Amino acid sequence: MIEELQKYKSGPPTDIKITEVNISLSNGSCIAGKWWGNLDKKPILCLHGWQDNAGTFDRLIPLLPKEFSYLAIDLLGHGRSSWLPRGVPYNLFDNVYTIIYIMKEYNWQSISLLGHSMGGAIAYLFAIMFPDKLDCLVTIEFGKNPDRSDIERLEDARDNILNFIVLDEKSQAISEPPSYTIEEMIEKVNTGSFGNITTEVAPYVLERNIKKSTKFPGKFYFSRDPRLRNLILTPHPENLTLCGARNMKVPFLFMYSPESPLFAKEFFFDQFLEALQDNTKFQQVVVDSESHYYHLSEVEKISEIVAKFLIENQKVIHHL
């Protein structure tokens, strides 16, 4: 716990037991996370967005049903989890392996997933590849793809690969990144998210993303892997995305705001939503917000919706 951040947190205290966990995976990586609730219940696995961490759910989880437990993890390179070795790039698709490894670690045959943004995309990829291993799915602000042509996507991938190599070499030469005061950190998170992460809620995503400077007393630096800035987004054929949507049968709560600051290919997005309608357990919710982070800054807009969905579709399962 970074004490200097506590006075900036705006949410009410919670009486839910929170256990910090470190999950050693069989591939040699370590996944850090926050386990909310009873450790004897198989949790709902919560996946955060790009360059965020488990703290992004700190204001939502306390408002969800207490009879369930929740495991919010830091994906590799994020928060307090392991970094990938030098020369190994971060790829959206590879996070599906992390879910499988965690299930293997706890001997879970199935899982329920809740994901925001990139975490929602990872959860969806898992859902369409392993439908028999999924109990239910909740996504927040997932599905709105950047309005880019196939050629532009390939150019983006090319640039990300070249930029990753530069960052990979640069990160090895820097012993400690630039450091800032807590107030400067909060402002940087707010500015870097184009105002989507307000200054009031920035401390929740900062706590697991910063460390105290060893060179400058009273200052901190960003501790996530800087190579994440060039996450490799492998272009996926839209027909496979639509095929997965048409074949999905599990309970699926899909929340999005048309006003959030993400560009979308409207034609494909409409096709995607239409394909999901074949699932009788699909629930679409349009959220009235201009933020991409309403699950954090305007949590009251979705907390009751998510809670109701979980009560109707999530089973309380004890693990061994």
Contact 255, 285 (CB under 8 A): yes
- d(CA 211, CA 180) in angstroms, rounded, equals 10
Residue whose token pair is 């809670």: 307
Which residue from 11, 14, 13 is spatially nearest to 66, judged by alpha carbons?
A: 14
| Both structure tokens of 277 | 């309608």
Active site residue 26: no
Contact 250, 137 (CB under 8 A): yes
Which residue from 38, 23, 133 is spatially nearest to 81, judged by alpha carbons?
A: 23
Which residue from 135, 125, 141 is spatially nearest to 243, judged by alpha carbons?
A: 125
- d(CA 42, CA 260) in angstroms, rounded, equals 33
The helix (run of H) or strand (run of E) holding residue 244 is helix 238-247
Contact 108, 42 (CB under 8 A): yes
Query: Which candidate in 117, 179, 257, 260 is catalytic?
Result: 117
- d(CA 53, CA 73) in angstroms, rounded, equals 7
What positions carry a catalytic annotation?
117
